[in-house]
Amino acid sequence: MFYLVCYDIVSDTRRNKVSKLLEAYGLRVQKSVFECILDEKQYETVSKYLVRLVNKREDQIRFYPMSAHHRCKVAVVGTQPQFTVDDAAFIV
């Protein structure tokens, strides 16, 4: 499943840990926004790890699942990453 993952993390230390984790699973498209392809197990793993990293009273992370139908309607104004995230691509 394709997810748009957005976060607002107060602490620099926690924010760096969150971004490092998400960099392993997806493409950073803005400073606090990632596009990730996650299967069910990966989603569970990432979610569980993030729960341990964040301060629930100060921080927020959101996972927005996006269907292929809606992804093709995404409009980008301004600069964008050179890479595209494709459900059919697997990194081994």
What are the tens digits of pLDDT across the range 31-78? Answer: 999 999 999 999 999 999 999 999 999 999 999 999 887 777 777 778
Model confidence at 83, pLDDT cuts 50, 70, 90, reads: low
pTM above 0.85, yes or no: no
- Is residue 59 situated within a structural domain? yes
- Range 73-86 average pLDDT: 68
Count of other CB atoms within 10 angstroms of residue 40: 8
Number of domains in the chain: 1
The residues near 61 (Cβ < 8 Å, ≥ 6 apart) are: 5, 6, 7, 9, 18, 50, 54
92 domain residue, yes or no: no
| CATH number of the structural domain spanning residue 33 | 3.30.70.240
User: Is the residue at 84 inside a domain?
Assistant: no
Domain membership of residue 6 as a residue range: 2-71
